[in-house]
Structure 1
Amino acid sequence: MRLDKYLKVSRIIKRRTVAKEACESGRVIINGKVAKPSNDIKEEDIIEILFGNRTLKARVINIADHVRKENAKEMYEILEGEEDKE
Protein backbone atom coordinates (compact mmCIF):
# COMPACT_ATOMS: atom_id res chain seq x y z
CA MET A 1 0.00 0.00 0.00
CA ARG A 2 1.21 3.51 -0.77
CA LEU A 3 2.51 5.50 2.19
CA ASP A 4 0.14 8.44 1.72
CA LYS A 5 -2.88 6.11 1.56
CA TYR A 6 -1.73 4.17 4.65
CA LEU A 7 -1.36 7.39 6.67
CA LYS A 8 -4.90 8.39 5.70
CA VAL A 9 -6.57 4.97 6.19
CA SER A 10 -4.87 4.51 9.59
CA ARG A 11 -5.91 8.07 10.46
CA ILE A 12 -2.40 9.02 11.57
CA ILE A 13 -2.91 11.95 9.16
CA LYS A 14 -6.54 12.83 8.48
CA ARG A 15 -6.38 13.65 4.74
CA ARG A 16 -4.42 11.98 1.96
CA THR A 17 -3.40 15.29 0.38
CA VAL A 18 -1.91 16.42 3.71
CA ALA A 19 -0.09 13.06 3.98
CA LYS A 20 1.28 13.53 0.46
CA GLU A 21 2.47 17.07 1.25
CA ALA A 22 4.17 15.86 4.46
CA CYS A 23 6.04 13.19 2.49
CA GLU A 24 7.05 15.60 -0.27
CA SER A 25 8.44 18.07 2.26
CA GLY A 26 10.64 15.40 3.88
CA ARG A 27 8.72 15.16 7.16
CA VAL A 28 8.00 11.41 6.88
CA ILE A 29 10.73 8.81 7.40
CA ILE A 30 10.40 5.05 6.87
CA ASN A 31 13.04 2.82 8.49
CA GLY A 32 15.48 5.74 8.73
CA LYS A 33 15.07 6.99 5.12
CA VAL A 34 13.11 10.01 3.91
CA ALA A 35 9.99 8.67 2.19
CA LYS A 36 8.04 9.61 -0.91
CA PRO A 37 4.22 9.41 -0.94
CA SER A 38 4.41 6.50 -3.39
CA ASN A 39 6.69 4.34 -1.21
CA ASP A 40 5.19 0.94 -0.38
CA ILE A 41 4.50 0.20 3.29
CA LYS A 42 4.99 -3.27 4.74
CA GLU A 43 4.12 -4.71 8.13
CA GLU A 44 6.84 -4.06 10.75
CA ASP A 45 8.03 -0.87 8.99
CA ILE A 46 8.87 2.00 11.36
CA ILE A 47 7.34 5.35 10.38
CA GLU A 48 8.50 8.67 11.86
CA ILE A 49 6.46 11.81 11.21
CA LEU A 50 7.62 15.30 12.13
CA PHE A 51 4.63 17.46 13.15
CA GLY A 52 6.10 20.92 13.74
CA ASN A 53 7.38 20.74 17.32
CA ARG A 54 6.63 17.06 17.96
CA THR A 55 7.52 13.71 16.42
CA LEU A 56 5.45 10.55 16.17
CA LYS A 57 7.17 7.19 15.73
CA ALA A 58 5.00 4.15 14.99
CA ARG A 59 5.35 0.53 13.85
CA VAL A 60 3.05 -0.76 11.10
CA ILE A 61 1.08 -3.72 12.47
CA ASN A 62 -1.65 -4.21 9.89
CA ILE A 63 -2.39 -3.05 6.36
CA ALA A 64 -5.97 -2.81 5.09
CA ASP A 65 -7.64 -0.83 2.29
CA HIS A 66 -10.65 0.17 4.39
CA VAL A 67 -10.95 0.36 8.17
CA ARG A 68 -13.67 1.71 10.42
CA LYS A 69 -12.64 4.78 12.42
CA GLU A 70 -12.78 2.94 15.74
CA ASN A 71 -10.49 0.16 14.40
CA ALA A 72 -7.88 2.43 12.78
CA LYS A 73 -5.60 2.37 15.85
CA GLU A 74 -5.17 -1.39 15.39
CA MET A 75 -3.13 -0.70 12.24
CA TYR A 76 -0.12 0.69 14.12
CA GLU A 77 1.68 0.75 17.46
CA ILE A 78 2.99 4.04 18.87
CA LEU A 79 6.68 3.74 19.78
CA GLU A 80 7.47 7.39 20.62
CA GLY A 81 5.47 10.59 20.88
CA GLU A 82 1.72 10.71 21.15
CA GLU A 83 -1.02 10.86 18.58
CA ASP A 84 -3.35 13.78 18.06
CA LYS A 85 -6.27 13.83 20.50
CA GLU A 86 -8.78 15.09 17.88
Structure 2
Amino acid sequence: MRIDKYLWCVRYYKTRNIATEACKKGHVTVNGQAAKPSREVFPTDKITLRKDQIVYQLSVLDIPQNRVGAKLVDIYRRDTTPEEAFEHIEMLRLAKSHYRANGTGRPTKKDLRDINDFLDYEDDEDEVNE
Protein backbone atom coordinates (compact mmCIF):
# COMPACT_ATOMS: atom_id res chain seq x y z
CA MET A 1 0.00 0.00 0.00
CA ARG A 2 1.21 3.52 -0.77
CA ILE A 3 2.50 5.53 2.21
CA ASP A 4 0.09 8.41 1.63
CA LYS A 5 -2.87 6.04 1.50
CA TYR A 6 -1.65 4.20 4.61
CA LEU A 7 -1.35 7.41 6.64
CA TRP A 8 -4.85 8.39 5.52
CA CYS A 9 -6.22 4.93 6.35
CA VAL A 10 -4.84 4.97 9.90
CA ARG A 11 -6.21 8.49 10.41
CA TYR A 12 -3.04 10.56 10.71
CA TYR A 13 -4.31 12.84 7.94
CA LYS A 14 -7.85 13.91 7.17
CA THR A 15 -7.51 13.53 3.39
CA ARG A 16 -5.18 11.69 1.04
CA ASN A 17 -4.26 14.98 -0.58
CA ILE A 18 -2.95 16.34 2.74
CA ALA A 19 -0.98 13.10 3.29
CA THR A 20 0.49 13.39 -0.23
CA GLU A 21 1.54 16.99 0.38
CA ALA A 22 3.21 16.03 3.67
CA CYS A 23 5.23 13.37 1.82
CA LYS A 24 6.23 15.81 -0.91
CA LYS A 25 7.40 18.35 1.69
CA GLY A 26 9.63 15.75 3.33
CA HIS A 27 7.67 15.43 6.58
CA VAL A 28 7.42 11.64 6.26
CA THR A 29 10.27 9.12 6.40
CA VAL A 30 10.16 5.33 6.16
CA ASN A 31 13.02 3.42 7.79
CA GLY A 32 15.05 6.64 7.98
CA GLN A 33 14.69 7.60 4.31
CA ALA A 34 12.51 10.38 2.93
CA ALA A 35 9.38 8.90 1.42
CA LYS A 36 7.66 9.91 -1.78
CA PRO A 37 3.85 9.55 -1.72
CA SER A 38 4.01 6.45 -3.91
CA ARG A 39 6.43 4.60 -1.62
CA GLU A 40 5.12 1.16 -0.66
CA VAL A 41 4.88 0.29 3.03
CA PHE A 42 5.05 -3.19 4.48
CA PRO A 43 4.56 -4.65 7.96
CA THR A 44 7.55 -4.00 10.27
CA ASP A 45 8.38 -0.67 8.55
CA LYS A 46 9.19 2.24 10.86
CA ILE A 47 7.49 5.51 9.88
CA THR A 48 8.39 8.94 11.23
CA LEU A 49 6.15 11.87 10.43
CA ARG A 50 6.05 15.50 11.51
CA LYS A 51 2.60 16.95 12.07
CA ASP A 52 1.57 19.96 14.17
CA GLN A 53 5.12 20.36 15.57
CA ILE A 54 5.10 16.79 16.88
CA VAL A 55 7.37 14.09 15.46
CA TYR A 56 5.31 10.90 15.52
CA GLN A 57 7.08 7.54 15.40
CA LEU A 58 5.10 4.47 14.48
CA SER A 59 5.55 0.88 13.40
CA VAL A 60 3.41 -0.76 10.75
CA LEU A 61 1.79 -3.91 12.13
CA ASP A 62 -0.56 -4.73 9.25
CA ILE A 63 -1.96 -3.16 6.07
CA PRO A 64 -5.67 -2.18 6.14
CA GLN A 65 -7.89 -2.78 3.12
CA ASN A 66 -9.38 0.74 3.39
CA ARG A 67 -9.82 3.58 5.91
CA VAL A 68 -10.54 2.18 9.36
CA GLY A 69 -12.50 3.48 12.32
CA ALA A 70 -10.65 5.26 15.11
CA LYS A 71 -11.14 2.33 17.50
CA LEU A 72 -9.52 -0.11 15.05
CA VAL A 73 -6.39 1.92 14.27
CA ASP A 74 -4.26 0.16 16.90
CA ILE A 75 -4.61 -3.12 14.98
CA TYR A 76 -2.62 -1.66 12.08
CA ARG A 77 0.04 0.45 13.77
CA ARG A 78 1.99 0.81 17.03
CA ASP A 79 2.62 4.39 18.14
CA THR A 80 6.07 4.73 19.76
CA THR A 81 6.07 8.54 20.02
CA PRO A 82 7.83 9.63 23.23
CA GLU A 83 5.70 11.45 25.84
CA GLU A 84 8.15 14.40 25.83
CA ALA A 85 6.88 15.41 22.39
CA PHE A 86 3.34 15.89 23.69
CA GLU A 87 4.55 17.62 26.87
CA HIS A 88 6.51 20.10 24.75
CA ILE A 89 3.36 21.06 22.82
CA GLU A 90 1.43 21.49 26.06
CA MET A 91 4.14 23.81 27.42
CA LEU A 92 3.99 25.91 24.23
CA ARG A 93 0.22 26.18 24.52
CA LEU A 94 0.42 27.25 28.16
CA ALA A 95 3.14 29.81 27.41
CA LYS A 96 1.01 31.45 24.73
CA SER A 97 -2.02 31.75 26.98
CA HIS A 98 -0.03 33.07 29.96
CA TYR A 99 0.14 36.73 28.94
CA ARG A 100 -3.33 37.23 27.50
CA ALA A 101 -6.35 34.95 27.57
CA ASN A 102 -7.73 33.77 24.26
CA GLY A 103 -10.33 36.08 22.80
CA THR A 104 -9.40 39.22 24.74
CA GLY A 105 -8.20 40.93 21.58
CA ARG A 106 -5.64 43.65 21.09
CA PRO A 107 -3.83 45.38 23.96
CA THR A 108 -5.79 48.23 25.52
CA LYS A 109 -4.43 51.77 25.81
CA LYS A 110 -3.55 51.05 29.44
CA ASP A 111 -1.65 47.90 28.42
CA LEU A 112 0.29 49.88 25.79
CA ARG A 113 1.14 52.63 28.30
CA ASP A 114 2.38 50.02 30.77
CA ILE A 115 4.52 48.39 28.07
CA ASN A 116 5.97 51.76 27.00
CA ASP A 117 6.69 52.74 30.61
CA PHE A 118 8.48 49.45 31.15
CA LEU A 119 10.56 49.87 27.99
CA ASP A 120 11.39 53.48 28.87
CA TYR A 121 12.43 52.37 32.35
CA GLU A 122 14.88 49.86 30.86
CA ASP A 123 16.32 52.53 28.53
CA ASP A 124 16.81 54.90 31.49
CA GLU A 125 18.72 52.21 33.40
CA ASP A 126 21.03 51.61 30.40
CA GLU A 127 21.87 55.34 30.16
CA VAL A 128 22.65 55.54 33.91
CA ASN A 129 24.97 52.53 33.73
CA GLU A 130 27.05 54.04 30.92
Q: Percent identity?
A: 32
After superposition, the Cα gap between the structure-2 partners of 1:25 and 1:67, relative to the gap in structure 1 and judged at 3 Å, is closer
Quick check: which one's helix share is greater?
Answer: 2
Q: Which of structure 1's runs of 4+ aligned residues deviate more than 6 A?
A: none
- Computed over aligned residues only, the root mean square deviation of the Cα atoms, in angstroms, reads 1.4
**1 CA distance for matches of 2:59 and 2:68?**
19
Which is worse superposed, 30-39 or 64-73?
A: 64-73
Q: Note the C-alpha offset of 1:14.
A: 2.0
**2 CA distance for matches of 1:36 and 1:61?**
20
Structure 1's unaligned 5+ residue stretches are none
**1 CA distance for matches of 2:58 and 2:15?**
18
Q: Provide the TM-score with structure 1 as the length reference.
A: 0.87
Quick check: which one's strand share is greater?
Answer: 1
How many residues end up aligned between the 2 structures? 82
Q: Find the structure with the greater CA-based Rg.
A: 2
1:10 aligned residue: 10
**2 CA distance for matches of 1:20 and 1:53?**
18
Q: Which has the higher contact order (CA 8 A, sep 6+)?
A: 1
